[in-house]
């Protein structure tokens, strides 16, 4: 006779939990340098290169959360709905502008986290099928992240290696990738964007109109500062400080508690990726990857590097893929630009290919209540079509530049 396990015996099994990822990351950050697996000189160099990047990640997230709390994203979406004048295709075009601007100035993760729910709410208000608008945000959160150093952490890690300035090199591939993205999205989703809509409801009201204006001015100034390539960490910190003071002055309650605004868990995970890949490089990973990624600046060589970057980004994640392949770019600006195109515009196929993609899936599940989770095949199909075409356009712009 079999006996059922008692409730007391089952309780310990129910209480077992996985170690949180941020705790594993913290162990990696401490243990690898402490044990000498990551040599001390390499660890100091890594800190000098990535410290400002992590500070920027923390500061720009606070900026984005304060912008959301001031109602900036809702206000822009409401204005877009009015400007569209009942035409769905016009509404989609304005969503493209919103997602692109958010990605370029406030980074791709901001677009995934804060623009996705705004666009889903906009779809409900206009009676528009939400998935095409949400998939547009997903695509642009990745492919629009090439124009400025602040648009993507990968850009920040590489920006100091562009002798003529980052924007001077990357504007052409960035625009090529963006143009192809818009055309492909229009072809894929054009059928759902036909017809007209009637705007339902007045939409959300900003908590304080003066704070909304101040926030808009601060974001515009940040855009200018990032475009002229001022140091990103202090610039983002200054923007966060001004917005925090304005929010306190106008007595507006943020959407999330202050203690939860700093994404310290994400920063720890990113830092652990930095440490892991640097440790692998210290033990010969670069030599192995160089054989796969090839050498040279010819069109075929750049295509080989780009293909390696796209595959690696979709297999593991674009940030460790970029860090692992960075030595394979060498001192060549064209190879570095090609690698950025691959790991920014390429991670569109698997759900884990970039942090922005992971965040987008979470936000869609959370906010598309009546529609359920996004159909996996729709997301994968868009990525399979868009990623090769967008990356090819960006690499061609690099080769012809």
Site of tokens 């990356």: 391
User: Using alpha carbons only, what angle is made at residue 136 by residues 150 and 344, rounded to the nearest 5 degrees?
Assistant: 35
Q: Which residues of the chain have pLDDT under 70?
A: 1-17, 286, 369-374
Tokens of 198: 């009637």
- Could you tell me which of 310, 312, 305 has the C-alpha nearest to residue 277? 312
Q: What is the pLDDT of residue 16?
A: 59
CA distances from 128 to 72, 133, 194 (A): 22, 8, 10
User: Using alpha carbons only, what angle is made at residue 14 by residues 8 and 18, rounded to the nearest 5 degrees?
Assistant: 145
Give the C-alpha separation, 116 to 137, whole Å. Answer: 6
- Continuous segment of H or E residues that includes residue 236: helix 232-249
What's the pLDDT tens digit per position in 226-246? Answer: 998 899 999 999 999 999 999
pTM of the model: 0.86
Q: What is the pLDDT of residue 2?
A: 43
Give the C-alpha separation, 12 to 6, whole Å. Answer: 11
Q: What is the pLDDT of residue 97?
A: 96
- Could you tell me which of 116, 78, 37, 13 has the C-alpha nearest to residue 282? 37
Helix (H, G, I), strand (E, B) or coil at 325: helix
Task: Give CA 176 to chain center in angstroms.
Answer: 19
Tokens of 200: 């339902």
Residue 54 has phi, psi (to 5 degrees) of -70, -40
Quickly list H helices, 251-298: 264-282, 285-293
- Continuous segment of H or E residues that includes residue 243: helix 232-249
Neighbours of 15 (CB within 10 A): 7
> Which residues does residue 296 pair with via DSSP β-bridges, in sequence order?
none
Going along 80-162, which residue ranges are E strands? none
Residue 147 has phi, psi (to 5 degrees) of -75, -40
Give the C-alpha separation, 270 to 77, whole Å. Answer: 31
Q: What is the largest CA-CA distance in the chain?
A: 79
- Could you tell me which of 57, 155, 144 has the C-alpha nearest to residue 95? 144
Q: What is the pLDDT of residue 211?
A: 96
Give the C-alpha separation, 19 to 155, whole Å. Answer: 31
Q: Is the dihedral of CA 102, 68, 320, 139 positive or negative?
A: negative
Give the C-alpha separation, 255 to 61, whole Å. Answer: 13
Q: What is the pLDDT of residue 368?
A: 73
Q: What is the pLDDT of residue 1?
A: 40
Q: What is the pLDDT of residue 3?
A: 47
Q: What is the pLDDT of residue 4?
A: 46
Give the C-alpha separation, 256 to 281, whole Å. Answer: 39
What's the pLDDT tens digit per position in 265-296? Answer: 888 988 998 898 889 878 777 677 777 887 88
Give the C-alpha separation, 377 to 383, whole Å. Answer: 10
Give the C-alpha separation, 135 to 137, whole Å. Answer: 5
Residue 205: which residues within 8 A CB-CB, separation 6 or more?
A: 71
Site of tokens 């390539």: 229
Contact call for residues 60 and 156 (beta carbons, < 8 A): no
262 Ramachandran zone, left/alpha/beta (phi>0; psi -120 to 50): beta
- In the chain, pLDDT over 90 holds for what percent of residues? 60
> What is the 3-state secondary structure of 105-146?
HHCHHHHHHHHHHHHHHHHHHHCCCHHHHHHHHHHHHHHCCC
């Amino acid at each position: 006779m079999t006996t059922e396990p008692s409730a007391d015996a089952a309780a310990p099994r129910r209480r077992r939990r996985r170690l949180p990822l941020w705790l594993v990351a913290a162990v990696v950050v401490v243990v690898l340098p402490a044990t000498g697996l990551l040599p001390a000189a390499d660890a100091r160099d890594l800190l000098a290169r990535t410290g400002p990047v992590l500070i920027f990640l923390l500061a720009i997230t606070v900026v984005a959360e304060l912008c959301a709390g001031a109602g900036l994203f809702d206000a822009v979406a409401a204005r877009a709905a009015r400007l569209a004048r009942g035409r769905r295709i016009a509404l989609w075009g304005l969503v493209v502008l919103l997602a692109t601007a958010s990605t370029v100035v406030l980074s791709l993760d901001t677009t995934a986290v804060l623009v996705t729910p705004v666009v889903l709410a906009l779809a409900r208000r206009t009676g528009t099928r939400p998935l095409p608008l949400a998939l547009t945000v997903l695509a642009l959160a990745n492919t629009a992240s090439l124009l400025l150093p602040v648009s993507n952490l990968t850009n920040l890690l590489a920006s100091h290696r562009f002798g003529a300035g980052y924007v001077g090199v990357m504007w052409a591939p960035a625009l090529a990738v963006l143009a192809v993205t818009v055309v492909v999205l229009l072809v894929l989703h054009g059928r759902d964007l036909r017809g007209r809509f009637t705007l339902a409801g007045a939409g959300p009201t900003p908590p304080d109109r003066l704070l909304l204006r101040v926030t808009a001015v601060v974001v515009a100034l940040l855009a200018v500062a990032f475009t002229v390539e001022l140091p990103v960490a202090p610039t983002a910190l200054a923007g966060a400080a001004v917005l925090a003071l304005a929010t306190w002055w106008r007595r507006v309650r943020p959407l999330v508690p202050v203690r939860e605004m700093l994404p310290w868990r994400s920063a720890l995970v990113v830092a652990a990726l930095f440490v892991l890949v640097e440790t692998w490089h210290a033990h010969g990973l670069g030599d192995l990857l160089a054989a796969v990624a090839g050498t040279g600046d010819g069109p075929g060589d750049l295509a080989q590097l780009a293909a390696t970057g796209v595959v690696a980004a979709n297999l593991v994640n674009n940030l460790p893929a970029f860090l692992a392949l960075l030595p394979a770019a060498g001192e060549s600006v064209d190879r570095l630009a090609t690698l950025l195109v691959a790991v920014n515009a390429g991670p569109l196929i698997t759900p884990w290919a970039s942090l922005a993609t992971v965040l987008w899936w979470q936000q869609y599940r959370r906010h598309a209540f009546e529609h359920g989770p996004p159909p996996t095949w729709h997301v994968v199909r868009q990525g399979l079509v868009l990623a090769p075409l967008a990356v090819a356009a960006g690499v061609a712009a690099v080769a012809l530049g």
